[in-house]
Amino acid sequence: MPLEPFRIVLSKAVPLDMANVDTDQIIPKQFLKSVQKTGYGKYLFYNWRFDFDGKPRSDFVLNDPRFQRREILLARSNFGSGSSREHAVWAILDYGFKVIIASSFADIFFDNCFKNGILAISLSESEMDYLFTVAYNQEFEINLALQTVTVTGRALSFVLDPSRKRKLLEGFDDIGITLKFESQISDYEKKSPKPLDY
């Protein structure tokens, strides 16, 4: 399926200064009822954003007016650990984030990001420390083609698997990549022997 091709993101960042944020914290299990990929953003970090009465917690970063409408999320190590549910990525994407930068990610969560068009970037702990210090009022430039995160004139390079990079640049998920070969698949099926009818 086609995704929006990823080029350059210019945005300030939301500093979620926490390590080991798991998928249950990203989106609690009681909100996993929809069969669509959309509509989950309002439940993102729900137990941290809202109290027991459903009122916004003033001390949580997403409720701070300074951090509204930002497209980059900063986090610490082991982001997205826990279950393999793809809903966690859907919630982040539906909320409006296009990029997550952390010192490390859980493997399945990291893979799910790229399947859904989110750029997940791993940087060193010292580089993350620097990004957190400037996140409050500086604009970031995320350049996928160059594989750089630039802020205050400093460019940080990140490593990315070439196939994942190509999918984001072209705007394709795994199904979309397969469909690029639809004519070859069709030709193969026409030439293949028919299965026996028992």
pLDDT tens column, 104-155 = 999 999 999 999 999 999 999 999 999 999 999 999 999 999 999 999 999 9
196, part of any domain:
no
Distance CA 40, CA 29 (A): 11
Q: How many domains does the chain have?
A: 1
Task: For residue range 33-50, list pLDDT tens digits in order.
Answer: 887 889 999 999 999 999
pLDDT band at 172 (very low <50, low <70, confident <90, very high): confident
**What average pLDDT does the segment 92-97 reach?**
97
Q: Helix, strand, or coil here: 157?
A: strand
Q: Residue 66 is part of a domain; what is its CATH number?
A: 3.20.19.10
| pLDDT confidence of residue 180 | 47
Work out the percent of the chain whose per-residue pLDDT is above 90.
Answer: 79
| pLDDT confidence of residue 190 | 61
pLDDT at 174 over 70: no
Domain span including residue 64: 8-191
pLDDT at 64 over 80: yes
**What average pLDDT does the segment 88-96 reach?**
97
3, part of any domain:
no
Distance CA 57, CA 141 (A): 30
| pLDDT confidence of residue 84 | 87
Residue 169 has, within 13 A of its CA and on its CB side, a CA count of 12
Mean model confidence pLDDT for the chain = 90
Decide: 49 and 57 in contact? Cβ < 8 Å.
yes
124, part of any domain:
yes
pLDDT band at 187 (very low <50, low <70, confident <90, very high): low
1, part of any domain:
no
pLDDT band at 188 (very low <50, low <70, confident <90, very high): low
Could you give the residue ranges of the DSSP H alpha helices within 56-156? 87-95, 107-115, 125-134
2, part of any domain:
no
| pLDDT confidence of residue 198 | 56
| pLDDT confidence of residue 178 | 47
